[in-house]
Structure formats: structure tokens, C-alpha cells
Amino acid sequence: MAETTYAKGLEGVIAAESEVCQIDGARGKLYYRGYSIEDLAEHASFEETTFLLLYEKLPTKDELDDFSQRMRAARGLAEPIQSMIRQFPPAGSPMELLQSVISYLSSSVEHQIRHSTTCNCRDTLHQIAQLPTVLAAYHRFREGKSYVEPRSDLSVGANFLYMLRGEEPTPEEGRIMDICLTLHAEHGFNASTFTARVVASTYSTCYCSISAAIGALAGALHGGANERVMDMVEEIGSKDMVDAWLDKALGERRKVMGMGHRVYKAKDPRSIVMEKMLTDLSKQRGDASLYEMLKQIEKGFRVRMEEKGKPIYPNVDFFSGAVYALLGIPRDLFTPIFAAARSPGWLAHILEQRKDNRIFRPKALYAGPEPRAYVPIEDR
């Protein structure tokens, strides 16, 4: 008899082996290729993290210099891309723009993958380097400002802020932005990474695979939680409104954004690093009101959940929106920044998929009408 049961959303179903990322949800630990996210956030740049994800080892000094130089050389936007950004409708989502640009860029390089199973995408690094640049240009153009040429003496995080603002950020700001990217660079299978692997399994290009993954991350069920945390903060208004808001929201069974995580039963390790950066930034700005309000939400939520016997901790999205806001980044760029940050992880999974590939082609369980006769249109 044919099988008729299945797991919706493939929940619990193993889709592939992977060496990229280990998540120990019970202990609240996250490792990229064996290295803890705390160590990487403290010691490694986003470029070093990208090298680790793509080459499966930490780089030597020479390797990192060469790699950073290549990534930085790939930052500038060609004229057709600038024109796509300029003409992009104001009501559009920058996620759609990113998705569109990345597949368009695929046409600008020769792809080995079309001729063999080998992929040369670690050579171009376009797919990673151009995402922050496109975002910065997008924001400037919509504000009526001009394109800022990238600088090759700045880290990925610092260069993004520089191109967005037209002014060099402080070293602390640059470092914080770079760590934010590192924290989001990889997180195992999820809908976007799985999408990247499914597309790559057909031997499509890395660009087209990453473009597809951006499409998945754009969905409301996937990216965007940190934007909604800031929406919530705005709705609450101030610290002293938090408790009344929580009582009302929980009474109405509304979801409190940025709390809990499907995988982490302990604290999300990225949220700890993110919170530290938020306190640093708040001190630098001499204004801790946003941080204090978030802590009030966290505390108030925990107390109310403990009454129900459910310890729930803030996840990485709970603090990241506030960090971006203090860095002067508009809210609708938060998810696109997530895409830029995740691109090394997607690329690592694409490369891994190709090493031992089988095209993804699951079965459907047919539940539609039995064969029926065609009725001529005049008899309908």
C-alpha cells in the first residue's frame, strides 16, 4: 500500500547531512564549523567568519588578507545595477530588490557550474559583497542622495555604515555592525537555507540559488522579527507603559515579539552578545531609554510566563532591532541586512550541497479529483 502519512513542512524530517553549523538548543550554544559564536563574535571579523564558512577552516593571516581584498574589490555597483535601484518603485520591498539584483548579477560572470559540477563562486564573492552595497545605495537614492563609492580600507560592517551615511562611522560602530553580521551568518536549515540547497541541487548558479533564498527570507514567517520588535516598542511608547501593555497583549493572546525560539530552550547565545552591544551603544549615545524599555519587557514577560511555568528568553531579534535603530538604520532595512549577513551561510550550504548532490524531488500525495471528461465550454 502506498504511504499516505507525511510531516507537514517536513517537520522533523532529515533533508541532508551538514557540517556547517551545530545548534545545541538545550544548552544555548551555536557553533560555525565547531567554533562557538561567542568566540567568533569576540575575535573574528565578518570576513574571517565568511572565510571559515566557505573554506571550512580559520584563515592564516595571508589567506585572510587575500580573501578580504577580494571581497572588498567586489563591493562596487555597476551602472545597470545602480539604475535598477534608482528605478525601483518606492512602495517595493528592498528584499525584492535584493532578490532581483542577485540573479541579475549572475549574468555578469562565467559560471563553471554550467559546464561541470564544479562551482567557482568562492572566487567572485559578488553574492556576498554586493548585498550591503545595494542596500546602502537603495536607501541613499530614495532619500535623494548620491551613490557613495565603497572604501576598501573598511570592514564589511564599517563600509556598510559609511556607504549608508556618507560619513565614516566610529570604530566602535563599525565593529558592532560587523559583529551583527557575524551573529547572523549561519543557522543551519531553515526555509531560506533549505531553499538555497534545493535550487543548488539542480546545478543552478550560486547567484540564482542565493536569490531564491532571499525570496524565502522575505516571507513574514521567516525574516522580519526584529522589525516587529521595534514596531512593538513603538506601540508601547515608553517604559512605564510596558506592564499595562503586556497584561493587555497577553490577555488578547497576542504574540510578544522577539521572545522564545523554536530551537533554543536555553537563552539564544546570540542574544547575549547582542544585548552587550546594545548596552555599549546606549552608553556611547548617553541614552539608555530603549535598552531599559526592552529590559522591562523582558522582565515583565518572564514574570508572567514563570507564573505559567514556562521560562521563555529573548532571542537575537529582541535586541538587534534596537542596535540597528541606534546605528541610524531605517527599520525596513533590518531584514535585508539579515539577508546580507546570512549570504555566507547560504553559500556554504550551496557548496556543501554540490559536493554530494542529489536533486531535491520529494513526492506529492495526490488528493485531487479523479480523471474526468472535458466538458465543451458551451455546455458549462
Residues 25-44 that bind a copy of itself (CB under 8 A): 29, 31, 33-36, 39-40, 43-44
Using CB under 8 A as the binding rule, whether residue 118 contacts a copy of itself is answered as no
Using CB under 8 A as the binding rule, whether residue 69 contacts a copy of itself is answered as no
Among residues 49, 68, 103, 159, the one that binds a copy of itself under rule CB under 8 A = 103
Stretch near a copy of itself under the rule CB under 8 A, chosen from 158-166, 248-256, 307-315, 356-364 = 356-364
Nearest Cα residue to 173 out of 191, 158, 154, 153? 158
Active site residues: 261, 317
- Of residues 120 and 304, the one with the C-beta less far from a copy of itself: 120
Stretch near a copy of itself under the rule CB under 8 A, chosen from 82-90, 124-132, 285-293, 333-341 = 82-90
Least CB distance to a copy of itself at residue 154 (A): 19
Using CB under 8 A as the binding rule, whether residue 80 contacts a copy of itself is answered as yes
Using CB under 8 A as the binding rule, whether residue 333 contacts a copy of itself is answered as no
Using CB under 8 A as the binding rule, whether residue 252 contacts a copy of itself is answered as no
Residues 139-198 that bind a copy of itself (CB under 8 A): 188-192, 194-195, 198
Alpha-carbon distance 245 to 58, whole Å?
Answer: 46
Strands of 21-24's sheet, edge to edge?
A: 21-24, 29-32, 35-36
- Of residues 183 and 290, the one with the C-beta less far from a copy of itself: 183
Least CB distance to a copy of itself at residue 174 (A): 19
Cα distances (angstroms) measured from residue 271 to each of 261, 305, 318? 11, 19, 7
- Any idea of the CA torsion for 42, 47, 52, 57, to the nearest 10 degrees? -90
Among residues 69, 107, 279, 284, the one that binds a copy of itself under rule CB under 8 A = 107
Residues 45-64 that bind a copy of itself (CB under 8 A): 48, 58-61, 64
Least CB distance to a copy of itself at residue 235 (A): 16
Residues ≥6 apart with Cβ < 8 Å to 74: 124, 125, 126, 128, 129, 130
Nearest Cα residue to 261 out of 317, 306, 223, 206? 317
Using CB under 8 A as the binding rule, whether residue 369 contacts a copy of itself is answered as yes
Residues ≥6 apart with Cβ < 8 Å to 280: 172, 176
Least CB distance to a copy of itself at residue 224 (A): 10
Residues 193-232 that bind a copy of itself (CB under 8 A): 194-195, 198-205, 207-209, 211-222
Using CB under 8 A as the binding rule, whether residue 363 contacts a copy of itself is answered as yes
Cβ-based neighbour number of residue 167 at 10 Å: 8
Using CB under 8 A as the binding rule, whether residue 310 contacts a copy of itself is answered as no
Using CB under 8 A as the binding rule, whether residue 332 contacts a copy of itself is answered as no
Least CB distance to a copy of itself at residue 309 (A): 26
- Of residues 140 and 187, the one with the C-beta less far from a copy of itself: 187
Nearest Cα residue to 198 out of 312, 61, 84, 353? 353
Alpha-carbon distance 267 to 236, whole Å?
Answer: 24
**Is the four-CA dihedral 11, 14, 20, 26 of positive or negative sign?**
positive
Q: What radius of gyration do the chain's Cα atoms show? A: 22
Cα distances (angstroms) measured from residue 355 to each of 103, 201, 349, 351, 362? 22, 10, 10, 7, 20
